[in-house]
Structure 1
Amino acid sequence: MTTTTTSTQKWLRENSAKYEQRDNVYHQVDQALATFGLYGGSNGWLKVKSDVYTYDDGRTHLLLCLHGLLPINFRNSTYHIPIDIWIPFNYPRSSPIVYVVPAQGMLIKNSRYVELSGKCDVSNYEGTKGSWLDRGEKTTTARTGLLGLIDALMNWFSRDPPVYSKAAQLSASSSPARSPLPTSIPHQVAQPPPPTYSPSPSRPSPIPPAAWTPQPPPIPQVPSASPAQQPVPPPPPMSWTPGPPPPLRIQSAPPPPPPLPPIPAQNLLDSDEPASSSQIAPAPPRPPNPVLLSLHSSVHAKLTAALQSLQSSLHHSSEHFRKMQQDLLRGEPAIHDEMSRLEAVKAVSLNVGNRLRQSVDAAERNIQLLRDKGDVSVDELICGPTIVHNQLINLVAEDNAIEDTIYHLHRALNSGSIDLDRFLKGRVSLKPEPLISSCRQPKPVYSSDYFFGNHSLTCLVIDNSRFG
């Protein structure tokens, strides 16, 4: 093992320590470098670096990246496809991120496995389980992990190359010439392809295909995060083996008639789909931002939940209002019936009120009449039906008054409040004799009606018994 290999493995061990399965990542990257990489012999086209990878949502991670040229065999010719294989932190739970990086003069061809942005679809490739699938068909390789992924990429790209060269733009005055192959795919087999046209001997021959030597591929530079070492250059590209091309000589003779346009040499990368080489595919649309999509989904979920809640509340409210409407519709006849009954009660109440008002008015008039007459004396309140009865009432009242006076005089005499002389004077001043004599006269008594006479006689009997 060389010093370069040892330093690379040491650097790889340090940079794979941040991965979840660092040992697995280290061994797989080391195997890939041993097979296709720095210390892989004649196939040393891949290198490893540590660089910043930016995800679609804006996140940036410092990841390991296998970058370089991937050899493929397309129609018995060997080409090299520039690729970048980024290894995420949670590898092998997440698949590697593979991009085709076209060089100058190359374009990405949208295919079954490659998008227009250059990203390769490796979702159907389960390398961590050892059962690598290719659209439902097992691959012929027994490798797993990164080696199996690289084998699968070589298999895919050999069947459908992911890049093609730009069509050369020639001016109208220049004669058509053969379009050169892209500089990023320089390596070809030793034998040239058979010529597709034979120029006329009377005209100057164009440059033969054997005279064209492709440029060597650029040496991928190891980034600053790579171990400090001398970069090992890839093996020199093979060129056409026939002899050196004959030098072009400018003839000073008059120009011959314009030659027939030669048939351009077939480009193996472009001959698969002629329509795709003549028309440049439109630029791929910008991929949507995952953060924005996540925000959209969360907002959509919240709006959906709020809408469902609002619909539920509106449904309950509508049911409540519908029941209220039914109750109101059922209560309308009852309201009309009650209104009719109340109208009848109102009419009766107005009639009773009118009669009561008339009675109150009559009572107020009588009260006013009594107030106008003034207070009535007691003598006017107690009276007999005739004059004789009034005389009898007055006589009985005077007799009772004299009796009460005599009674109180006796009590005053007994208590010593008055003396005997004063008692006698008061007693004599009462003069009961005319009263007794008047009571004993029957003429006024029997001159009246029998009823009144009987009543008066009864009173006289009481008086005679009292004085007897």
Structure 2
Amino acid sequence: MPYNEHSIRKMLPTTYPRKHVAHEIYDALTHFKSLVPLMDRYVYNDGTTKNLMSLTGTIPVMFEEDQTYNIPVCLWIEESYPQTAPICFVRPTHGMMLVGGQYISNSGEVVLPYLEEWKCGECDLLSLLQVMVVVFGDFPPVCMQPHPEPEQAPCWLQFHRHSEVLSKTDGSMYLDLTGEDDLPFQEHETNC
């Protein structure tokens, strides 16, 4: 859905400086097309919740060897914006793992000097996103989760999967082993 300043302003509650916030969000969206403005419930550290505007989606970050990766982020904009900085998080998707460090807390919160030294009138959403792109290029906030090597099933399980207990006509029992190719095992053949 293409957004314009008017549609964004309509999303914002009247408790926000709507014209200013809508303009900054629109400006950010023109440069970062994978972000989406959403009103959603934010949960503070003390457990209280509040409906806040957020910019959610991905930002393209270039790593070594000119590889571009889309880093999932969420920027929460409080009603006191632009006097206060947004609350920013990296949100790993399934298959990703958070890499905590100098600029990312263990909870995924973005901790940048730009946010800590936020100055109304000098700092804005677009500049914040551009700083995140540069910093995340040098210090990646996520990585792919390692996938363990598939283990071969133990011998007894392989035989168990391909075996069947059968009865002979004389009433005795025997074990019929079938290989992975669904053919009976030959004498002295093993799958281990």
> Quick check: TM above 0.5?
yes
Q: 2:147 aligns with which of 165, 168, 183?
A: 168
CA separation in 2, counterparts of 1:19 and 1:91?
A: 11
Structure 2 counterpart of 1:105, from 95, 111, 135: 95
Match of 1:61 among 50, 53, 70: 50
1:392-443, CA deviations, whole angstroms, 9 ceiling, x for partnerless residues?
xxxxxxxxxxxxxxxxxxxxxxxxxxxxxxxxxxxxxxxxxxxxxxxxxxxx
CA–CA separation in structure 2 for the residues paired with 1:100 and 1:117: 9
Structure number with the higher helix fraction is: 1
**Which AA in structure 2 matches 1:34?**
T
The answer for the alignment partner of 1:50 in structure 2 is 39
Q: State the shift of 1:22 in Å.
A: 2.1
Q: Which has the larger radius of gyration?
A: 1
Answering whether residue 15 of structure 2 is matched by residue 19 of structure 1, we say yes
1:62-107 Cα offsets, whole Å, 9 max, x none, are 1111111110010021111000111011011111011111011211
8 Å Cα contact 2:84-2:118 kept in structure 1: no
- Cross-structure match for 1:28: 24
**1:124 Cα offset (Å):** 2.8
Q: Which stretches in structure 1 are left out of the alignment for 5+ residues?
A: 37-43, 131-143, 175-468
- Say yes or no: does 1:126 pair with 2:122: no
RCO comparison, higher one (Cα < 8 Å, 6+): 2
Alpha-carbon distance between aligned partners in 1 of 2:119 and 2:24, rounded to the nearest angstrom: 11
Q: Deviations over 1:138-173 (max 9, x none)?
A: xxxxxx400000001001100000011122111343
Aligned to 1:340: none
State the TM-score, normalizing by the size of structure 2.
0.71
Q: Matches of 2:2 and 2:149 in 1, distance apart?
A: 48
Out of 129, 133, 145, the residue aligned to residue 154 of structure 1 is 133
What TM-score, normalized to structure 1? 0.30
What secondary structure sits across from 1:128 in the alignment? coil
**Matched residue, 1:201:** none
Q: Summarize the alignment of residues 389-408 of structure 1 with structure 2, pairs less than 5 Å apart.
A: none
Could you say what secondary structure the match of 2:120 adopts?
helix
Deviation at 1:56, TM superposition (A): 1.1
Identical-pair percentage: 29
Give 1:297's aligned residue: none
